């Protein structure tokens, strides 16, 4: 009878150890899955953003050339377009900085919670 209790305890101990190991493995895999989801979402967004920025850059050069041609000196167009972007950058940095931070933080949280 005593031997039966020892075997039962050893079996329980072994199963508990296996459960803890399996739970830890599952936790590691879930963490890795969440990290990979966030990383892949960020990579996709950055890729789309880069293509948009390339389009925006080429369009800006074309507008600068068009405005400069209309004003008679090519560099006038580049000065006007650069000034426009400078004003937009100042407005964004002064008023919308926290808004952009909230968007990025919410994006990362949504990717982790998914």
The per-residue pLDDT for range 29-88, each reduced to its tens digit, is: 998 888 888 888 889 989 999 999 999 999 999 999 999 999 999 999 999 999 999 999
3-state helix, strand, coil in the chain (%, to 5): 95, 0, 5
pLDDT in tens, 2-39: 566 667 878 888 999 999 999 999 999 998 888 888 88
Q: Which DSSP category does 73 fall into?
A: -
**Domain range summary for the chain, segments of one domain joined by +:** 2-113
User: 67 and 74 in contact (C-beta within 8 Å)?
Assistant: no
Lookup: tokens for 88: 């937009």
pTM above 0.75, yes or no: no
Q: What are phi and psi of 72, to 5 degrees?
A: 100, -20
Cα Rg of the chain (Å, integer)? 29
């Amino acid at each position: 009878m005593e031997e039966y209790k020892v075997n039962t305890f050893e079996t329980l101990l072994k199963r508990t150890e296996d459960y803890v190991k399996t739970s830890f493995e599952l936790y590691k895999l879930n963490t890795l899955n969440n990290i990979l989801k966030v990383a892949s979402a960020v990579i996709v967004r950055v890729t789309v953003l880069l293509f948009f920025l390339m389009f925006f850059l080429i369009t800006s050069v074309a507008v600068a050339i068009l405005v400069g041609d209309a004003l008679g000196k090519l560099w006038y167009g580049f000065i006007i377009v650069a000034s426009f972007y400078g004003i937009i950058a100042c407005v964004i940095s002064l008023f919308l900085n926290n808004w952009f931070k909230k968007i990025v933080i919410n994006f990362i949280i949504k990717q982790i919670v998914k």
